[in-house]
Amino acid sequence: MPGYPVLPEGLAYGGDYNPEQWPEEVWREDVRLMREAGVNLVTVGVFNWGLIEPREGEYDFSRLDRILDLLHSAGVYADLATPTSSPPTWFRRRYPGSRLVDREGHVLGGGSRHSFCPSSPDYAAASERIVAALAARYAGHPALAMWHVHNEYGWANAHCYCPASAEAFRAWLRDRYGDVGALNAAWGTTFWGLTYGSFEEVEPPVTAPVGLLTGLQLDFMRFSVDAHIACFRRERETIRRFSDLPVTTNFMIPNCKPMDYWRWAAEVDVVANDHYLDSARADPHIELAMAADLTRSVAGGRPWMLMEHSTGAVNWQPRNLAKRPGEMRRNTLAHVARGSDSAMFFQWRASRYGAEKFHSAMVPHAGTDSRIWRDVVALGADLGRLAGVRGARVTAEVAVVWDWESYWALEFEWRPSADLRFRERIEAYYEALWREHVTVDFVHPSADLSPYRLVVAPSSYLIGEAPAKNLHRYVEAGGHLLVSYFSGIVDENDTIHPGPYPGALREVLGVAVEEFHPLRGHETVALRPPKSSGPESSKHGATGRIWSERVRLAGARAVHEFADGPDAGHPAVTRHDLGAGSAWYVSTALDAESGLRALVAGVLDHAGVSRPRGLPDTLELVRRGDHLFLINHADAPVTVDGVTGTGVLDGAAYGGSATVPAGGVVVVRT
Ligand code: GLA
């Protein structure tokens, strides 16, 4: 991997730096403050296209020259961005064919960023020219540490339905299927007699009167990922003509559903991610932990970069909650604990203009006499003390299956219940594991599963034959598998696997499902031990939501049965001992406190997954290399036994136990 890690030592600390929004005297204060806070890397030039190419083919790099020189003189490295996510105003006027068109056929407006079609040949040519000019000018600049291509591919323009996109989609289909007969077979176009006579007849899935072919929709999602990856590759290869420094782009894991980041991961020299707290959640730090674990997994376990997060409120949620005292520190250190070698923010200095003026920053509008600034300085000191964690790995005994194609397909229209949402079940199982203090990796279902004692598949609606066999072999070889309902239903074309549900997973689970019985919005079903109950069914009081179904045992045995509802007296949770392993199936939506936590704990025990016992479920505990991170999300201190080593943040000597203050973080090098 060229040039990784990106800095000569320590963790990277900084953020998006947009000095072009400020007069030059402010820049001098900026670098002084960066030094005070320990900032060593800033992302510059992200939205500079219109400033460095004010008229087509006319360049003005004078301001960027001065900025990079100033950063270098202050010892701050630059993560130099290509400005291609925000084409200049002249570009849009000059090349109207490059404008983004939405599903309803609206041509989307300018006066904003991301307003271009990723398949536009004019955009391709213009973006390649500006990237070449930028790379030629700055490749040897001593401030440069890395290249930051574009900004958040697929965030606002994931899908374009303009004529150029339609043409590119047809070319992509020709490439994938060779002849239209193969496309018809894959999409099952005998349905409604929608058989295509030629590729020319295929249109992108624009808004239609009723349900669209789901194969068409899936392939358009795949095509759109490729269209954005092609844009990235074009820029990366252009940079490579001039520079060997690492090249990345900032992902939005897991909050950019249209981008398949398993596919993206291979394209970048270092995985970088942006993450913002969803302040409407009761425990947003659990979703943060999930995002960080998924990012590390996308990075193949290698260290990754947190490219953006926030010091306080964002500006784009319905209610933008400020972080409470200590929350920013806990958030940042949780990302580091889960594999990030950097802590970067959007943004360095709060903007006065435009759409994001109410977004927090490292230097807030209030200036340096503020809690945020004091916390930013303190965080810089913490990160300095954590330099030794750089490069260290996180290992996990449990993996959760995550497949973007399954995410897309599950959420197309006309599923058995509107309550079937991909992230709903993943997050429920992730939360149960988090509260059990279990660190997890995420995996594609075709990945090597042998490192894991337990694999959890909470939302594997779409699963092809080969990945299903992979899970089967994993169990036979001694692995343990826990699957939630409505998994294994369709193949990679969204075609139902033949026979009773869950087709692809029927054999490994040892069950056959005759009929789905989705529940009404507020309906619940009770679970009870079956008549012939074994020891693992001793937990009573489990309650299911959303789903019930008629499960027939075909090799498995019942661990719980439904006590009421449409499937009263029939299996609700099953276990199938197969080869040297076991496969468990849960046919309703249990939540952490309504039975899922107990069930997960039982399966973890059965699989022999090691974890600490007796700790409050508000304590986050993660080991990264020889660093043990203890992050206390509760309002009371917690004492953790069995901790011996040196406190990295506080310098304390821990001999047997560590007390983590309310809302505090202790990191012990063991
Ligand atoms: C994204 C973008 C930034 C900024 C932030 C605001 O992550 O990359 O430019 O808009 O969101 O939260």
pLDDT at 475 over 60: yes
Q: pLDDT for 295-342, tens place per residue?
A: 999 999 999 999 999 999 999 999 999 999 999 999 999 999 999 999
Catalytic residue list: 152, 308
From 333, 349, 257, select the one nearest 17 (Cα to Cα). 349
For residue 515, count other CB atoms closer than 10 A to its CB. Answer: 12
C-alpha span between 438 and 458 (Å, rounded): 16
pLDDT tens column, 45-71 = 999 999 999 999 999 999 999 999 999
Q: Is residue 594's pLDDT more than 90?
A: no
Sketch out the chain's domains with CATH numbers.
12-159+226-389 (3.20.20.80), 398-607 (3.40.50.880), 619-669 (2.60.40.1180)
Average pLDDT over residues 188-198: 98
Contact 578, 476 (CB under 8 A): yes
What is the number of other CB atoms lying within 10 angstroms of the CB of residue 496?
12
pLDDT at 358: 97
C-alpha 258 to ligand 1 mean position (Å): 17
Name the residue of 79, 151, 346, 359 to mutate for ligand 1: max ligand atoms within 8 A of Cβ: 346
User: Which residue has its alpha carbon closest to ligand 1 atom 7?
Assistant: 274
Spatial separation of the C-alpha atoms in residues 113 and 351, rounded to whole Å: 16
211-232 mean pLDDT: 98
Residue 592 is classified by DSSP as G
What is the pLDDT, as a whole number, of residue 533? 61
Phi, psi of 367 (to 5 degrees): 85, -160
Confidence grade of residue 534 (pLDDT, cut at 50, 70, 90) = low
Give the three-class secondary structure for 318: coil
Rounded distance from Cα 431 to ligand 1 centre (Å): 26
The dihedral through the CA atoms of 501, 502, 505, 506 has a sign that is negative
What is the percent of the chain where pLDDT is above 90? 97
Q: What is the pTM of this model?
A: 0.98
- pLDDT: which is higher, 406 or 6: 406
What separation in Å is there between the alpha carbon of 309 and the centre of ligand 1? 9
Rg (alpha carbons) of the chain, rounded to whole number: 26
What is the atom index within ligand 1 of the atom nearest the CA of 47? Answer: 9
Q: What is the pLDDT of residue 531?
A: 77
The 3-state DSSP class for residue 576 equals: strand
Average pLDDT over residues 454-469: 98
- Give the span between the Cα atoms of 475 and 531, in whole angstroms: 27
Look over the chain and give the mean of its residue pLDDT values, rounded to a whole number. 97
Residue 346 is predicted with a pLDDT of 98
Cβ 348 vs Cβ 5: under 8 Å: no
